[in-house]
Structure 1
Amino acid sequence: MFRTALALILALAGPASATQEYILPTLFDVSGVAPDDVLNIRAEPNARAAIIGTLAPDATRIEVVEERRGWARVNTGEGTGWVSARYLSYRVDVWQPGQLPPAFRCLGTEPFWDARVDGGDLVLRSPENQGGDRRAVQAVLDTGVFRDPSRVVVAQDMTLFSHPQICSDGMSDRLFGLSAMLVLHGEQPSMLSGCCTIQP
């Protein structure tokens, strides 16, 4: 009787009850690399590709924006490259319900802008306003899906939407894992587009 009931519960639960480990983008720590070695960043996702950078054996909070066949895409300098995913361990403290990772910021071009949450305010900066336009954050919304990076930041006269999607800033060879739209309310509403990062 107990086995029958347990089988029924498991059958009803199905795959939907499985805990998903992570959704990209998220942060990882380097692990399993010898203290006197480095983790190579390669131009393509294969072990024979050119080395374009390295990560220290104790590097932490590395943003991964894409995975492909056991390789993880990371940004390095003004470009992007690939590291072996077997030497990365994901962090479980990145995407918390109703919160943003501490280094979360969004940026765009044409016109140039950047936005981040600072001290309870959503701060929008532009070349003309380096000090930034500060608006009180009213809410940070999420989808309710475990570790889903999608977020909406609702602030006075501004709403920032970000969702997982490979995104280019149009100025460098870097790629980002979050696409952004910033809606400016008021007498003449407007919308800015760009990308977001959580890399410290």
Structure 2
Amino acid sequence: MFRIAAATALVLASPALATQEYILPTLFDVTGVASDDVLNIRAEPGTSSGIIGTLAPDARNIEVVEERRGWGRVNAGEGSGWVSMRFLAYRTDVWEPGELPAGFRCLGTEPFWDARVEGADLVLRDPDNQDGDSRPVQAVLDTGIFRDPSRVVVAQEMTLFSHPQICSDGMSDRLFGLSATLVLHGKQPRLLSGCCSIQP
């Protein structure tokens, strides 16, 4: 009887065990660091690697774009480094169905561009248009997969695609966790490529 009950409990527990906690990139809060200490950002994933920056013991909304052997890659200044995932607690409120995180923005070079949702509009800025080209957002689409960061922002005459992939802005040593493709519709359609960040 005990064996049957134990086997049943194991079968019932299996789906929960298989559920993925998070998909990167996503946001984390620093945890388990003493109030008079800091969390070191290291050049490479390992305690013997040089320190290139720090995070405060109460730092929140830290974007992790990649994970390797218990270390998470974060951006620090114009570069990126690694922090121990043991001291990071992931936020469950980042990727909600049909929504974008508050800090979501995409950018690219050659040509330079920046796009973000402001209110009910998708706003595209470039060096020739600092005020921005604003288009009403018609929909924010997701894959339906739990906590999948992939998004499509459908706006009037603009469609922004983003999906998880390590991405470089080509201007710094920072790395991003989302690649972006922006399609401009109209009489002269254009395609712009770049990266996205969710860091507030």
Map 1:1-200 onto structure 2 (within 5 A): 15=15, 18-200=18-200
Tell me the CA shift for residue 13 of structure 1: 9.2
Tell me the CA shift for residue 193 of structure 1: 0.1
Tell me the percent identity: 79
Partner SS for 1:46: coil
Cα RMSD between the aligned structures? 2.1
Tell me the CA shift for residue 157 of structure 1: 0.1
Partner SS for 2:133: strand
Q: Structure 1 6/157 Cα, relative in aligned 2: closer, same or farther at 3 Å?
A: farther
Tell me the CA shift for residue 190 of structure 1: 1.0
Tell me the CA shift for residue 181 of structure 1: 0.1
Tell me the CA shift for residue 17 of structure 1: 8.0
| Partner Cα distance (2:72, 2:10) in 1 | 33
In structure 1, stretches of 5+ residues that fail to align are none
Q: Structure 1 133/14 Cα, relative in aligned 2: closer, same or farther at 3 Å?
A: same
Cα shift readout 1:56-109 (whole Å, capped 9, x = no counterpart):
000000000000001000000000000011000000000000000001000000
Q: Structure 1 125/19 Cα, relative in aligned 2: closer, same or farther at 3 Å?
A: same
Amino acid in structure 2 at the alignment position of 1:31: T
Tell me the CA shift for residue 19 of structure 1: 2.5
Q: Structure 1 34/124 Cα, relative in aligned 2: closer, same or farther at 3 Å?
A: same
| Partner Cα distance (2:46, 2:157) in 1 | 46
| Partner Cα distance (2:69, 2:131) in 1 | 43
Which structure 1 residue ranges, 4+ long, deviate > 3 Å from structure 2?
A: 3-18
Tell me the CA shift for residue 15 of structure 1: 4.5
Tell me the CA shift for residue 188 of structure 1: 1.2
Amino acid in structure 2 at the alignment position of 1:189: P
